[in-house]
Structure 1
Amino acid sequence: MSIIEMLLKELDQESQITRKMLQRVPDDKYDWQPHEKSMTLRQLAIHVAELPSWIMMGLTTDELDFATSPYDPVPVNNNAQLLELFEKSLAEGRSQLAAANEEKLEEKWTLRNADQIYSVMTKGEVVRHSLSQTIHHRAQLGVYLRLLNIPIPGTYGPSADEQGF
């Protein structure tokens, strides 16, 4: 199995889990946040839904400079819009990854804010980072949902809710 095939397989598996988690985000709690320093549920859910698009960005650009490309989140006000954003991000990321070749994964990519360089990695590492960030923030979303008493779907096995605990 090639690296790209392995990444596509992982993307497909993680996307199924992410989709189940995003489907649980309630329309009436978008402005809720567990702590004043935490993101709102809306901000976190949008971030999770957008993360697969980082695969496309990583494979089609050489850098992201926050100084010249400030973050402008897609407006999301309900679960249908959230899932639409996720499916669009996933389709973009997956199609770029499927079309890539191994040499493309070795090219360098930079994350910066003007002269401040946060990281330089290969485009393959950007793909991996996108998957890691999705898993990380999806787990954070699970904590938010748990705090709102919303049953959590299983991730790598059944959840306590699915087992009736």
Structure 2
Amino acid sequence: MLAQYLLAEFEAQVPVTRRFLERLPENSLTWKPHPRSLTAGQLAYHLAFVPEGVVRGAQKNEIPPPDFQFPQPVSVQQVLDTLDQSVATVREVLPGFDDAAMNAIWRIVDGDRELVAMPRIAFLRNIMLNHWYQHRGQFCVYLRLLDVAVPSSWGPSADESSALQPEPQPA
């Protein structure tokens, strides 16, 4: 049941994330707002890959510290294909966790040193979803700096209304 709640939230957020990624101009894949920042393409790829990477990690009871590599995609289509694969993986794997598995302690270990220990559901909630939202917000800033219309997410953006604030109807 717990996995179904996370899956329902994930499913509601997939089209929102896809709208953000689709807005990335093809000619801006290597643009970055600061020398220490990821490129727009690297951040987009990370957004696309995070759900799959996290749910695959959650299939194990423990993993080593993540290797934070951010590939540079060659096209927006590569990013969207990665998102599609990521979504398919979450849809396949997440429902396989029963409530006992969701409540079991999941770990990051470095040799014999435990770095992180938390219930699997907390890992999935914090990293697959909250981390995803945080990077989507970061990507929103990239779009704004690129002078690209920012899609609405939970509420309206400066460029689009949302279901919570429909377009005004003519009188």
TM over 0.5: yes
Report whether the alignment pairs 1:32 with 2:31.
Answer: yes
- In the alignment, the residues of structure 1 paired with residue 81 and residue 125 of structure 2 have an alpha-carbon distance, to the nearest angstrom, of 23
- In the alignment, the residues of structure 1 paired with residue 113 and residue 151 of structure 2 have an alpha-carbon distance, to the nearest angstrom, of 39
Structure 1 contact 58–127 (Cα < 8 Å) conserved:
no
User: Equivalent residue of 2:107, what SS?
Assistant: strand
Aligned to 2:73: 76
Q: Give 1 or 2 for the bigger CA radius of gyration.
A: 2
- In the alignment, the residues of structure 2 paired with residue 156 and residue 128 of structure 1 have an alpha-carbon distance, to the nearest angstrom, of 18
- In the alignment, the residues of structure 1 paired with residue 36 and residue 112 of structure 2 have an alpha-carbon distance, to the nearest angstrom, of 27
**CA distance 1:70–1:159, shift in 2 (3 Å):** closer
Relative contact order (C-alpha < 8 Å, sep 6+): which is higher? 1
**CA distance 1:12–1:88, shift in 2 (3 Å):** same
Aligned to 2:164: none
Aligned to 2:84: 87
User: Equivalent residue of 1:51, what SS?
Assistant: helix
Structure 2 contact 3–95 (Cα < 8 Å) conserved:
yes
- In the alignment, the residues of structure 2 paired with residue 23 and residue 158 of structure 1 have an alpha-carbon distance, to the nearest angstrom, of 18
**CA distance 1:96–1:147, shift in 2 (3 Å):** same
The Cα offsets for residues 54-99 of structure 1, whole Å up to 9 and x where unpaired, read as 3422331122314xx7455555211111000011011112221122
Q: Which amino acid aligns with 2:57?
A: G
Structure 2 contact 42–73 (Cα < 8 Å) conserved:
no
| RMSD of Structure 2 on Structure 1 (CA) | 2.1
- In the alignment, the residues of structure 1 paired with residue 55 and residue 91 of structure 2 have an alpha-carbon distance, to the nearest angstrom, of 8
Where in structure 1 do 4 or more consecutive aligned residues deviate above 4 Å? 71-75, 112-117
- In the alignment, the residues of structure 2 paired with residue 147 and residue 75 of structure 1 have an alpha-carbon distance, to the nearest angstrom, of 19
Report whether the alignment pairs 1:140 with 2:113.
Answer: no
Report whether the alignment pairs 1:127 with 2:121.
Answer: no
Q: Percent of counterpart pairs with the same letter?
A: 30
